[in-house]
Amino acid sequence: MRDFLCRKCGQRLSFENSLCLHCKSPLGFWLATRTIHVLDERGRTEIDGKLVERCANTKVAQCNWLVPWTGVPGLCESCRLTRTRPADSDLNSLPDFGRAEAAKRRLVLELDELGLARRGRDDDPETGLAFDLLSSAHEPVVTGHASGVITLDLAEGDDVHREQMRVELDEPYRTVLGHFRHEIGHYYQMAIIDDDVRPRFEELFGDPDLDYQASLGRHYSQGAPPDWRQNYVSSYATMHPAEDFAETFAHYLHIRDTLDTAAAFAMAPAGSTLDSTLPGDVGFDRIIEWWLPLTWALNQINRSMGHPDLYPFVLADPVLEKMRFVHNLLLPD
């Protein structure tokens, strides 16, 4: 994530800012240039000779992204991907919906920077990408992916609920953004694992056509193998080859975005940003070369503050090979 500045007063901004806290200027994010702009009193500005305005979801989804001005309120690229959301009258779920949309915008930005295509349901009604953001307060909701549709239980936005689930499932890391990155891994497995790369996929992850329900039942009745850390990035990855790929894909996105942010604040080399060209095996080796000392330092900083490790993972060689496969899919040499 970049280090943004207010173009009016120079105040440092976060990606989520819709208002400069120093000069009180309204702000908006333009995905095409990945920049934050100062808006006029109508919530509009001109970029490259074109008038743009705030996304129509400014209030309900806390969205600060910009869309081309057409005279009719429009949705940004991230908000357009949401197919189902809580009703405006569901005041209990709307705050969690806003937090989920904020995490989704980070996901969409990272996918955009990595050059990953995102075909929505309008372009591909059968397998296009869409998000159903639902609350289990009203009906049973299972977070997951099916034929391009990613479902998220908005209860994951509640810190107490999420921590309870993290402890119950023995997960070292559980966030809304993490869920999105995992489920988008399923989407890209469907989209980019073709006959040419499937043999290598099966060599690393196993047969993705194995009975999923049987694997699910076995995982929750027997748990992960005691030596899972030698071959998997998480215990959940042991459940099924598709989950192994999704967990690995998500972890790759964690690494790339965190390195990008660290580079913006001079904590990692400038060449580690998401817009840097790091293709093939050489590029992946450099990423890991930068990543390991950064996480060591971050863990020590957390310990100095009395917190558990920020990055409680060990990347064994088989895990790195799986992650190298993902890297080479996205950035081939």
User: Which residue in 199, 219, 206 sits closest to 248, CA to CA?
Assistant: 206
Which helix H or strand E contains 45, and what residues bound it? strand 44-47
Find the mean pLDDT for residues 181-202. Answer: 96
Report pLDDT for 160.
45
- Cα–Cα dist 192/331, whole Å: 12
- The helix-helix angle for 241-264 and 94-113 (nearest 10°) equals 80
Six token digits for residue 39: 């808006």
User: Percent of the chain beyond pLDDT 90?
Assistant: 83
Residue 166: its pLDDT value, please? Answer: 38
Q: Is the pLDDT of residue 103 over 70?
A: yes
- What is the rounded average pLDDT for all residues in the chain? 92
Better pLDDT: 59 or 166: 59
89: Cβ contacts below 8 Å, ≥ 6 apart: none
Tell me the per-residue pLDDT of 243-302, one tens digit each, with 9 for 90 and over.
Answer: 999 999 999 999 999 999 999 999 999 999 998 889 999 999 999 999 999 999 999 999
pLDDT value at residue 277: 87
DSSP symbols for 176-229? HHHHHHHHHHHHHHHHH--TTTHHHHHHHH--TTS-HHHHHHHHHHH-S-TTGG
Average pLDDT of span 230-252: 96
What is the pLDDT averaged over residues 26-36? Answer: 96
What pLDDT, on the 0 to 100 scale, is given for residue 168? 47
Write down the pLDDT at residue 156.
67
pLDDT digits (tens, 9 = 90+) for 143-190: 999 999 999 999 864 554 444 543 444 555 668 999 999 999 999 999
Q: What was the pLDDT predicted at 112? A: 95
- CA separation for the pair 305, 300 (Å, rounded): 9
| Cut 0.85: pTM above it | yes
| pLDDT recorded at residue 200 | 98
How much is the average pLDDT of 50-75? 95
Residue 145 three-state SS? strand
pLDDT at 137: 80
Query: Can you read off the two tokens belonging to residue 184?
Result: 């988008």
73-81 contact pairs (CB < 8 A, 24+): 76/31, 77/31, 77/108, 77/118, 78/104, 78/105, 78/108, 79/55, 80/120, 80/122, 81/108, 81/118, 81/120, 81/129, 81/130, 81/131
Max intra-chain CA distance, the chain: 61
Per-residue pLDDT at 163: 46
Query: Residue 285 corresponds to which tokens in the numbers above?
Result: 């080796």
Are the beta carbons of 228 and 244 closer than 8 angstroms?
Answer: no
Distance CA 294, CA 166 (A): 25
Q: What is the mean pLDDT of residues 307-329?
A: 95
